[in-house]
Chain A
Amino acid sequence: MKLTTRKIVITAVLAAISILLGVTRLGYIPVPNVAGNATIMGVPVYIGAVLEGWPVGLILGFIFGLSSFLGATVPMFKDPIVSILPRLLIGITPYLAYIAVRKKNEILAYGLAGLVGSVSNTVFVVGAIILRGYFTFHQMLVVIPQAIAEAILSVILTVAVCAAWNRVQIGSGRSKISNVTD
């Protein structure tokens, strides 16, 4: 794993955003069910994986997991097997999704990376919770609404940020006011 200065710094600033979204709670969107909040703290991981490759995704996943472990007030997330281990993978899956589709359509690839990242986060973490015996599979079905909310937000954010950074045009490239005339 060879890290360039650029990869180091980009990983660091994305990690900073992930931590910031966590501590200020701006990364949480309240979802009215027992499981609490949908979170966009994973988005920096998916963006890092798309922009700089899987090693960056792996490191960011680890840092995301670490900050989620350190900051957790929910008992089951104070378990490194639930909060850290699954997160090591969530930077790798979006990268694979991205390179698989990149050739066909750049924007689609960003979106898919966001989707795959978010879904793998849900699946791996829920898997770990079940594996550790906190809840059963049926009980974990309550997280579905929030998983959907997370997936949608992850797609939007990953596409918007990666496209703006790589200067790829999204949509018509026309502003809202261009659709009306004086």
Chain B
Amino acid sequence: MESIISIEELAFEYLDGNLVLKDVSLDIAKGSYVALLGANGSGKSTLARHVNGILVPKSGRVQVAGMDTQDDAKKMEIRKLVGMVFQHPDNQIVATTVEDDVAFGLENFNVAPKVIEERVTWALRETGLSAVRKRPPHLLSGGQKQRLAIAGALAMQQQVLVLDEATSMLDAKGRDDVLQMVRHLHQNGTTIITVTHHMEEVLEADQVVVLNQGMVVMTGTPREIFRNSRRLRQLNLDVPAIAQVSAKLHEVLPAVSADAITPEELMTDLAALSTRPNHGKAASNTDLCDDDPTANDEIIQMQDVSHVYLQGTPLEHHALRRADLTLRSGEALAIVGATGSGKSTVMQHLNGIYRPQRGTVWAVDVDLGSPHANIAKVRQEIGMLFQNPEDQLFEQLVGDDVAYGPLQMRMDLKEVRRRVRWALEMVGLDFDTFKDRPVFALSGGEKRRAALAGVLALRPKVLVLDEPTAGLDPRSASDLLDRLRHLKKEEDVSIVFVTHNIEEVLNLADRVIIMHDGQTKGTYSIEQIMDGPSLLLDHGFEAPPILVLQQMLREQGFGSVFGRTPDEVSDMILQSLGLASPKDADVLAEEGL
């Protein structure tokens, strides 16, 4: 195949002596679909920015259709060929209306006004934005903004499209739409390069490139890459849940291929096994139910709450129509729902940021509807972490930021120091290393943890967390979940959290609330969800493959497989086959063996 992008021994540094890319060589064929994987900070965005000459190599060479990106005379040619969409849609929208923004790139290339008009109309139709054509961008939802950013690139009809986490703000449905669009472009001959943490997107690609600390460490088809699940996990990367199960089964049962990445494939392998499941011996189901029957006192109760934003202005918006929520002491409650369904609005009612316009909210024995409510008590006992909390660190030094809450309460400085130490250690940041560290010198994951420490420093009884793991790489995300589980267990903190990821719900929550279009559509226990994924399907969610697999297994006679995580599931499959699971190398190491 003719290559359209060729990268030879590329090295790059932002600051002297700190190589972010080291010796990257890569050939991308015309018309191919490449997924770029890697942990936070591995250099994916930096590499992507070399493809259209925004960044130029310190050493080595990048060529686009035979043109060197270092050649200033070719710069416009290259940009005409390569389009780019970035992660934060808000930071790439330039104009004050949707259509003007789509036209921006075309104007730069001196396209005639008539042609611009046609292309804009076409791109808006493709992205489903025709109806909001004249609207200012700040009145779009997150998903619409992301589609607008994509429309801007689409309108240019370039040969290469680079998507740098361009779907990170979308829910499952929105992501599907975009995937469809990209697939369509690819079929029409566009070369696609996509940077993503989402496995469904990686599976679309025909070539996967894995970066680690600025180096290409693996390349191959998605299947070849996922087979190496242990290596991927060492690189802080996610592996599709099914691939994790099949890899683990493969170690004990070589007849099960380590390649399976869909429930169907794994089922075919399992069905062909000579050993049959042991129907009689049901695995104990008790470890699933950490629902403590004594923990029944309600710590937050919300009834029939509705909320209208910007009441009495032309922008009035009925965001919440009816919300009911109960949080019991010591439990973890998940809230799931499409973007814009009102999840964040509900969360902000829980510690009195918004007071109920209608309905009632009782939190830690305070009636938040009363104008004389003791808000200070509520704010202290219910700690809240907002969406994208890394943008909300407002002091210059980590220590000062974590101390903000206790200082507002006029606590003695010694006590403040003790609290800060405790909070930082709780989130896994060393007190002495981090207390005097400037906030800008933290990585994304560290910022997220520092923000959580700032909330913990008030010693809340309840934690309210709005999408705490969004944007983190899989390793940092699971580390955060582990710490939350620890807080819940050891410090008896109750947790309410929002997530788009059902696997996280299974991992941490005791109960889950489903939201749709400004309404809460009921509360379910995790056991109910695990019993039948159809519950999720009814509410417009995709059932996570790990649940689909378990349902298939049960239909096939593996009666006792009820697991929340891939590890639990593979152990249970082995158990029901009468086999013992191998101990993970990591676990062995931890146990000092």
Residues of A within 8 A of B (CB): 160, 164, 167, 169-170, 173-182
Contact = CB atoms under 8 A, between A and B. Distances in A.
12 contacts: A164-B396, A164-B438, A164-B440, A169-B438, A175-B399, A175-B403, A176-B399, A177-B420, A178-B399, A178-B436, A180-B417, A182-B414
Contacts of B21: none
A176 B440 contact: no
B397 interface: yes
Nearest to A174: B436
Nearest to A167: B440
A177 B403 contact: yes
B418 interface: yes
B534 to A, nearest CB: 48
Interface residues of B, number: 19
Contacts, number: 49
A180 B414 contact: yes
B413 interface: yes
Given A167-B440, A182-B421, A177 B435 contact: yes
Contacts of B438: 164, 167, 169, 173
Main secondary structure of the interface of A (DSSP, over half): loop
Nearest to B418: A182
Interface string B397-414: 111100100010000011
Instruction: Identify the 9 closest CB pairs spanning chains A and B, nearest first.
Output: A175-B399, A177-B417, A175-B397, A175-B400, A180-B413, A174-B436, A177-B399, A180-B414, A177-B403
B373 to A, nearest CB: 26
A174 B435 CA distance: 8
B416 interface: yes
B414 A175 contact: no
Contact of A182 (B397, B417, B436): B417
B440 A177 contact: no
Nearest to A177: B417
B127 to A, nearest CB: 25
Nearest to B397: A175
B419 to A, nearest CB: 9
Contacts of A173: 397, 436, 438
Contacts of A175: 395, 397-400, 403, 435-436
A176 B436 contact: no
A176 B413 contact: yes
Contacts of B440: 164, 167
Given A164-B396, A179-B413, A181-B414, 5 more contacts: A173-B436, A177-B416, A177-B417, A180-B414, A180-B417
B403 A176 contact: yes
B426 to A, nearest CB: 16
Nearest to A160: B396
Interface string B435-452: 110101000000000000
B88 to A, nearest CB: 14
A168 to B, nearest CB: 10
B413 A177 contact: yes
A182 B413 CA distance: 10
Contacts of A176: 399-400, 403, 407, 413, 416
A170 B407 CA distance: 21
Nearest to A170: B396
Contacts of B420: 177
A173 B436 CA distance: 7
Interface in B63-96: none
A177 B395 CA distance: 13
A164 B399 CA distance: 16
A15 to B, nearest CB: 14
Contacts of A181: 414, 417
A67 to B, nearest CB: 16
Contacts of B417: 177, 180-182
Nearest to A169: B438
